[in-house]
């Protein structure tokens, strides 16, 4: 059996600042895609969740629930509510899930 002349790859060493930048980007990017603060549906959900959860609107965070566009999760003051979009034809509205 012949020996291979291949040299095993060496680990790549990144400068500390680049490593920190990559870590920050990897942490920030997934959340940047799901947190929303404006738009008619978010405004309605924010108002409803404020009443449903007894929490000021400014303390609520609205996100897509489980990555679904027709589900939104409102969190704030240690409480959570999930809302879903219900459509009949072109008419849509949001309802709180039980």
Domain assignment present for residue 20? The answer is: no
Residue 67: give the domain boundaries. 34-96
pLDDT, tens only, 14-72: 788 777 777 766 665 554 444 444 567 778 899 999 999 999 999 999 998 888 888 99
Residue 34: which of 59, 60, 69 has the closest Cα?
A: 69
Between 35 and 74, the more confident residue is 74
Domain assignment present for residue 40? The answer is: yes
**Number of domains making up the chain:** 1
Is the pLDDT assigned to residue 1 strictly greater than 80?
no
Domain assignment present for residue 14? The answer is: no
Domain assignment present for residue 18? The answer is: no
Domain assignment present for residue 47? The answer is: yes
């Amino acid at each position: 059996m012949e020996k291979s002349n291949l040299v095993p790859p060496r680990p790549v060493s990144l400068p500390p600042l680049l490593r920190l930048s990559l870590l920050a980007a990897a942490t920030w990017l997934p959340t940047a895609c799901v947190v929303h603060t404006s738009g008619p549906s978010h405004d309605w959900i924010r108002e409803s969740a404020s009443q449903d959860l007894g929490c000021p609107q400014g303390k609520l965070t609205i996100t897509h629930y489980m990555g679904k566009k027709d589900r939104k999760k409102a969190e704030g003051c240690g409480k959570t509510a999930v809302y879903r979009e219900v459509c009949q034809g072109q008419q849509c509205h949001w309802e709180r899930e039980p």
